Chains A and B, each alone.
Chain A
Amino acid sequence: MRKAAQRLCVLASIGLAGVVVNSSQPGLNHALAAAELPRVTLSADSLAPRPIEQRTGEAVTHDYAQAWQDLAVALNSNRTDSLGDYFAGEAKLRLTRRIEGQKSAHIRTQYGDGGHRVKAVFYSLDGGEMQLQDQVQLEIQIFDGDKLISSSKATQKYLVLMTPGSDRWYVRFLESVGNDAF
């Protein structure tokens, strides 16, 4: 468990169309390190039809990293209560069903998160939806009780839809896609 936490203890950084906000900025390093978020690098070079503002990019990066941290904790502990803060809609529903399935089967999944290379590809004109492509290095271990039944390490791709709420961005769709998807 501690090992998993250490793996998650990485920093988030943002690259926005040539503007880079990274962990060397005063205050940011400490804050994100304390939160033990997965590393997320966001690029928005080919984003359309609306450009992304710096603050929005920072918020999306942080909230997406936070969502993955919650996902890892929830799938390892089989607790659905940690999914409510950054997941909504279909993404939350699917993860909840996955956790319920894991509980019934007495299995759990442990994610080792090697970092996300995220590309923002669609941001609607009204600012109501943002689509992201994520390429993540994952080490996935599945346990039946205490017995390790599967261990794999792979690059996985995800198509993500995020929407803004009153104080954060929510992950509404998180769909793993094939290697040829993007």
Chain B
Amino acid sequence: MRIPTPTVLMLLVSGFTILSVAQNPALQLPPTAVAGKPLAISASGQGKGMFYLIGPAGVLKQAVDFGQDISISGEDLTISGMYQAVACGPDGCTNKTIQVQPSDPARLNFLLHPSRVPVSAHNAVNATVLVFDRYRNTVLAPTKVTFRISLAKQAVSERSILTTRGVAWFGMDSRPTQGALEVTATLGEASEPRVIQQVASEACHLRMTATSNGRTVNLQTDPIRDCAGNPLPDGTIVSFTKLDSAGKSTVDTPIKKEKATAQFTVSGRARISVACGVVVGNEVALGGGL
């Protein structure tokens, strides 16, 4: 069978076109990869060209021979997120995207607030944990975080919480006893302890007694404690206020060894009151009061 010359020419031109198209690079890569794991990208085509991998925290650019696999090391893929792979040959460029997923959970950031809290305060302690893989990529898959809560001389309690989008949190009341409250968040081998100081709450049943020696009056409180029996810390200010014919006078004095003391000189009849924070204590009348 004879083929007419124009047909031969057309076939030759078509073949050349097909060959040209075939020389354009084409990328084949999986839709997802895992952070830190190596990856092989197939770049088909012929000849030499340039390959780019543009990720959230870096750029890889290298000359390549098309038709051979391009090896991407795990070190170039440590950050999760969207990567753009681009291959450019003499006739143009092609691009594909790949989503790099976080690897296994391995690290945590633990935030415990506040650093000091009064005892028995409702929902006053809150803990937040952020879960990451070893490259600090947020791990989206639900991950169990265990919290161990301990206070001196009290039973240790534990609770486990599953993360949502890499976050686990809880709020709780502070305990009735003052002291260091230790909360440790654990995720596999990773463990992060945090300590907050539980301090006595407001004074409860604040009471003072007075002894007079002529015009001088010595005042002393009973041991100052909160309603759970925790002594208020030394240095907490107690205010004594005197009202007599000379006018009104206030003395602020710190608690020392659970008690506060003050001394006044009074003129005639007087009334003296005591207060600590928002708590008002008893009142003493001297010389029959005012």
Chain A contact residues, CB within 8 Å of chain B: 49, 90, 93-95, 97-98, 101-102, 104-105, 107, 109, 121-122, 124-126, 128-129, 131, 133, 140, 142, 144, 149-150, 152, 154, 156, 159, 161, 173, 175-178, 181-182
- Contact of B97 with A152 in the complex, beta carbons under 8 Å: yes
Give B243 Cβ to nearest chain A Cβ, in Å. Answer: 42
Interface string of B81-119 (1 = CB under 8 A from A): 110101010000101010101000000000101100000
B268 interfacial contact with A, CB 8 Å: no
Closest to B137 in A: A175
Scoring B57, B80, B99, B111 by chain A CB atoms within 10 A of each residue's CB, the highest score goes to B57
- Contact of A105 with B57 in the complex, beta carbons under 8 Å: no
- Contact of B52 with A144 in the complex, beta carbons under 8 Å: yes
Closest to B31 in A: A178
> Which listed residue (A101, A128, A140, A177) contacts B113, Cβ 8 A?
A128
A-B contact pairs, 17 of them (CB 8 A): A90-B136, A98-B57, A105-B52, A105-B61, A124-B128, A124-B169, A125-B169, A126-B111, A128-B111, A142-B52, A142-B84, A150-B93, A156-B82, A159-B138, A159-B166, A176-B82, A177-B140
Closest to A177 in B: B140
Q: State the CA gap A130–B276 with chains docked (Å).
A: 38
Interface string of B152-174 (1 = CB under 8 A from A): 00000000000011110101000
Please name the 7 residue pairs, one residue from A and one from B, whose CB atoms are nearest each other, closest first: A101-B59, A94-B57, A125-B126, A176-B81, A105-B61, A126-B113, A150-B95
- Contact of B81 with A175 in the complex, beta carbons under 8 Å: yes
Give B164 Cβ to nearest chain A Cβ, in Å. Answer: 8
- Contact of B59 with A178 in the complex, beta carbons under 8 Å: no
The total of chain B residues at the interface (CB under 8 A) is: 40
Closest to A140 in B: B84
Closest to A174 in B: B56
- Contact of B61 with A178 in the complex, beta carbons under 8 Å: no
Q: State the CA gap A133–B61 with chains docked (Å).
A: 31
Give A61 Cβ to nearest chain B Cβ, in Å. Answer: 20
B58 interfacial contact with A, CB 8 Å: yes
What residues on A are CB-neighbors of B274 within 8 Å?
Answer: none
What residues on B are CB-neighbors of A152 within 8 Å?
Answer: 84, 95, 97
Q: State the CA gap A144–B58 with chains docked (Å).
A: 15
What residues on B are CB-neighbors of A154 within 8 Å?
Answer: 97
- Contact of A175 with B57 in the complex, beta carbons under 8 Å: no
Closest to B88 in A: A149
- Contact of A98 with B56 in the complex, beta carbons under 8 Å: yes
Q: State the CA gap A100–B12 with chains docked (Å).
A: 48
Closest to A181 in B: B140
Closest to A173 in B: B138
Give B214 Cβ to nearest chain A Cβ, in Å. Answer: 55
Give A107 Cβ to nearest chain B Cβ, in Å. Answer: 6
Give A156 Cβ to nearest chain B Cβ, in Å. Answer: 7
What residues on A are CB-neighbors of B97 within 8 Å?
Answer: 152, 154
Give B210 Cβ to nearest chain A Cβ, in Å. Answer: 44
What residues on B are CB-neighbors of A105 within 8 Å?
Answer: 52, 59-61
Give A30 Cβ to nearest chain B Cβ, in Å. Answer: 35
- Contact of A182 with B165 in the complex, beta carbons under 8 Å: yes
Give A106 Cβ to nearest chain B Cβ, in Å. Answer: 8
Give A68 Cβ to nearest chain B Cβ, in Å. Answer: 14
- Contact of A129 with B59 in the complex, beta carbons under 8 Å: no
- Contact of A159 with B140 in the complex, beta carbons under 8 Å: yes
Q: A122-B164, A125-B171, A129-B111 are in contact. List 19 more A-B contacts (CB 8 A).
A: A49-B169, A98-B55, A98-B56, A98-B59, A107-B52, A107-B54, A121-B165, A124-B128, A125-B123, A126-B111, A126-B114, A150-B95, A152-B84, A152-B97, A159-B140, A161-B130, A175-B138, A176-B56, A182-B165
- Contact of B56 with A175 in the complex, beta carbons under 8 Å: yes
Give A51 Cβ to nearest chain B Cβ, in Å. Answer: 14
B32 interfacial contact with A, CB 8 Å: yes
Q: State the CA gap A93–B136 with chains docked (Å).
A: 12
B79 interfacial contact with A, CB 8 Å: yes
What residues on B are CB-neighbors of A126 within 8 Å?
Answer: 111, 113-114, 126
Give A169 Cβ to nearest chain B Cβ, in Å. Answer: 16
Given contacts A94-B79, A128-B113, contact A178 B99 (CB under 8 A): yes
Give B284 Cβ to nearest chain A Cβ, in Å. Answer: 43
